[in-house]
């Protein structure tokens, strides 16, 4: 029997491969960890991210939290910015070919990602430790992928078959439905797998939708004579609706850049059915915490997650302000501000909502007003014809959308 994994590593674990219980450090992660400790050689923990957007949400942060746990245990996090692979786009979870991004778009997104992960921040407030020597390598895969010549690309292609590629669920579904698959999409798992060779990864982190890509890295390491990495997969976080995965396109996310009040207000409404997931994957609290009192449990997880991003003092203030706002007290100091400067007056109420970015469109804003989900300083707005003649009518007031979004209107 092999040794047990440490609790910090097991927490939230969805899949580990290989997962042998022998003393073989190529089959047992516990044995690999023990071997590394004996040799005083930290493991190299790979996490690749393709900067295809500008925002990171809490669903993404699960993997970074685990990567930080490895850092805190003395290992080296190898964060790969997929500036080359992002221009192809990961086909995982996609039912159609992704739009290819320009190099400039990818670079801009990468900069925002690093800022959100904590670049330039003290380790105690950052999602990743950027400052402790030996704890982090940030690499861009254009370093090795941009220089591959045609014979090297052919060698990579020769390591896999069309049958293996079609075993990937997304490719199989698209092939079966007659949806086109571009040949360059087959390159993505191979290039992503080659990243593991380039950085000599001991272990790769990924979501459960990334198993094919992580396994490809193991195959390529064998092909190039390296010791194969372990694959450690974590669950996909449900969104605020408690049903579908957290996704910006579904509007059920909490962004890392959101203010303390907005973050807390959203999280204290997390459905009971997914509270265990949020506690396990986004906090260090016992997942059984507060099960006898679901409302207090929601508050506890909201406070813990908000504190991890903004500090306990700001999170506690947000908790108090959220309670005051729900009770109709509009003087809460931590309400984020929204400027009226760019709003052309006179302005209809529904136009105000869309122009401030609280609703995706004027049509959605009309639906929110009709559904009774909009308040101004606690008073419900129901008249679709309501018009404000000047910004002075609104300055200093709190505009509320649903139970989670509050902004104070300023000049």
Query: pLDDT tens digits for 196-252?
Result: 999 999 999 999 999 999 999 999 999 999 999 999 999 999 998 888 899 877 778
- Give the mean pLDDT of 347-354: 84
Q: Is the pLDDT of residue 186 over 70?
A: yes
- Whether 241 maps to a domain, the answer reads no
- Give the bridge partners for 338, in sequence order: 409
- Give the mean pLDDT of 30-51: 93
Q: Check whether residue 75 and residue 158 sit in a common domain.
A: yes
How far apart, in whole angstroms, are the C-alpha atoms of residue 401 and residue 381? 10
Q: Taking the C-alpha atoms of 374, 376, 381 and 385 in order, what is their torsion angle to the nearest 10 degrees?
A: -110
**What's the count of helices (H) and strands (E) in the chain, helices before strands?**
16, 13
Q: Check whether residue 285 and residue 370 sit in a common domain.
A: no
Q: Check whether residue 205 and residue 349 sit in a common domain.
A: no
- Give the mean pLDDT of 144-163: 94
Pairing between strand 230-234 and 374-376?
A: unpaired
Structure-block tokens of residue 256: 């890392």
- Whether 137 maps to a domain, the answer reads yes
Indicate which CATH number applies to the domain containing 215: 3.40.50.620
Give residue-wise pLDDT tens across range 83-105: 898 877 656 555 455 566 778 88
Residue 99, pLDDT score: 61
Region for 271 from its dihedrals, namely left if φ exceeds 0, alpha if ψ lies in -120 to 50, beta otherwise: beta
- Whether 239 maps to a domain, the answer reads no
Q: Check whether residue 50 and residue 139 sit in a common domain.
A: yes
Do residues 189 and 168 make contact, with C-beta atoms less than 8 angstroms apart? yes
Beta carbons within 10 angstroms of residue 37's beta carbon: 13
Q: Check whether residue 179 and residue 72 sit in a common domain.
A: yes
How far apart, in whole angstroms, are the C-alpha atoms of residue 383 and residue 221? 64
- Give the mean pLDDT of 23-43: 93
Q: Is the pLDDT of residue 330 over 60?
A: no
Q: For residue 37, give its domain range.
A: 7-234
First to last CA, the chain: 68
- Whether 242 maps to a domain, the answer reads no
Whole-structure pTM value = 0.80
How far apart, in whole angstroms, are the C-alpha atoms of residue 69 and residue 66? 5
**Residues, the chain:** 411
How far apart, in whole angstroms, are the C-alpha atoms of residue 193 and residue 231? 12
Number of domains in the chain: 3
Q: Check whether residue 145 and residue 194 sit in a common domain.
A: yes
Q: Check whether residue 270 and residue 306 sit in a common domain.
A: yes
Q: Check whether residue 342 and residue 289 sit in a common domain.
A: no
- Whether 1 maps to a domain, the answer reads no
Beta carbons within 10 angstroms of residue 301's beta carbon: 24
Residue 1, pLDDT score: 40
| Spatial CB neighbours of 380, under 8 Å, sequence gap ≥ 6 | 372, 374
| Cis omega (within 30 of 0) for bond into 63 | no
User: Which residue, of 291, 307, 326, is where some domain finishes?
Assistant: 326
User: Which residue, of 234, 260, 293, is where some domain finishes?
Assistant: 234
Do residues 409 and 364 make contact, with C-beta atoms less than 8 angstroms apart? no
- Whether 34 maps to a domain, the answer reads yes
Q: Is the pLDDT of residue 378 over 80?
A: no
Residue 90, pLDDT score: 58
Beta carbons within 10 angstroms of residue 328's beta carbon: 10
Summary mean pLDDT of the chain? 87
Backbone angles phi, psi at 6, to 5 degrees: -65, 150
How far apart, in whole angstroms, are the C-alpha atoms of residue 64 and residue 248? 18
Residue 80, pLDDT score: 96
Q: % helix / strand / coil in the chain, to the nearest 5? A: 45, 15, 45
Sign of the dihedral defined by the CA atoms of residues 213, 215, 220, 225, in that order? positive
How far apart, in whole angstroms, are the C-alpha atoms of residue 24 and residue 2? 9
Q: Which residue has the tokens 């997969």?
A: 233
Do residues 63 and 207 make contact, with C-beta atoms less than 8 angstroms apart? yes
- Whether 243 maps to a domain, the answer reads no
Sign of the dihedral defined by the CA atoms of residues 68, 69, 73, 77, in that order? negative
Q: Check whether residue 307 and residue 346 sit in a common domain.
A: no
CA angle 17–19–25, rounded 5-degree value:
100
Q: Check whether residue 115 and residue 167 sit in a common domain.
A: yes
How far apart, in whole angstroms, are the C-alpha atoms of residue 270 and residue 310? 19
Collapsing DSSP states into helix, strand and coil, what is residue 173? helix
Order of all β-strands in the sheet with 337-339? 337-339, 405-410, 398-401, 374-376, 379-380
Q: Check whether residue 19 and residue 67 sit in a common domain.
A: yes
Indicate which CATH number applies to the domain containing 264: 1.10.240.10
Give residue-wise pLDDT tens across range 248-264: 777 788 888 888 888 88
Beta carbons within 10 angstroms of residue 91's beta carbon: 24
Residue 133, pLDDT score: 93
- Whether 88 maps to a domain, the answer reads yes
Q: Check whether residue 138 and residue 174 sit in a common domain.
A: yes
Alpha-helical runs (H) found in 158-234: 162-166, 169-177, 183-199, 211-223
Beta carbons within 10 angstroms of residue 310's beta carbon: 21
Q: Is the pLDDT of residue 341 over 70?
A: yes
């Amino acid at each position: 029997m092999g040794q047990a994994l440490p609790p910090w590593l097991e927490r939230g674990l969805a899949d580990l491969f290989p997962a042998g219980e022998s003393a073989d450090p190529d089959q047992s992660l516990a044995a690999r960890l023990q071997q590394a400790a004996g040799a005083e050689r930290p493991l190299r923990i790979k996490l690749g991210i393709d900067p295809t957007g500008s925002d990171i949400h809490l669903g993404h942060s699960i993997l970074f939290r685990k990567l930080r746990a490895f850092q805190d245990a003395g290992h080296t996090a190898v964060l790969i910015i997929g500036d080359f692979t992002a221009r192809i786009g990961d086909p995982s979870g996609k039912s159609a070919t992704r739009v290819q991004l320009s190099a400039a778009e990818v670079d801009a997104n990468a900069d925002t990602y690093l800022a959100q992960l904590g670049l330039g921040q003290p380790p105690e407030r950052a999602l990743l430790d950027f400052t402790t020597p030996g704890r982090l390598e940030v690499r861009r895969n254009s370093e090795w992928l941009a220089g591959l010549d045609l014979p090297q690309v052919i060698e990579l292609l020769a390591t896999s078959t069309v049958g293996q590629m079609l075993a990937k669920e997304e490719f199989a579904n698209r092939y079966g439905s007659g949806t086109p698959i571009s040949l360059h999409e087959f390159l993505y798992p191979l290039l992503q797998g080659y990243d593991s060779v380039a950085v000599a990864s001991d272990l790769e982190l990924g979501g459960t939708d990334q198993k094919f890509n992580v396994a490809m890295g193991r195959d390529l390491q064998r092909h190039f004579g390296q010791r194969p990495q372990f694959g450690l997969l974590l669950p996909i976080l449900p969104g605020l609706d408690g049903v579908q995965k957290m996704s910006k396109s579904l509007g059920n996310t909490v962004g890392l850049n959101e203010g303390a009040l907005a973050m807390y207000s959203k999280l204290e409404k997390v459905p009971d059915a997914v509270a265990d997931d949020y506690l396990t994957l986004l906090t260090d609290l016992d997942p059984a915490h507060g099960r006898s009192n679901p409302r207090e449990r929601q508050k506890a997880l909201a406070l813990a997650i908000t504190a991890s991003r903004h500090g306990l003092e700001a999170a506690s203030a947000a908790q108090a302000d959220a309670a005051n706002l729900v009770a109709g007290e509009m003087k809460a100091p931590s309400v984020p501000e929204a400027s009226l400067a760019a709003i052309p007056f006179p302005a209809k109420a529904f136009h105000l909502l869309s122009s401030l970015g609280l609703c995706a469109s004027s049509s959605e804003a009309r639906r929110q007003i009709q559904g009774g989900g909009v308040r101004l300083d606690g008073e419900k707005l129901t008249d679709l014809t309501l018009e404000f003649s000047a910004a002075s009518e609104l300055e200093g007031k709190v505009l509320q959308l649903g139970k989670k979004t509050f902004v104070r209107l300023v000049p």
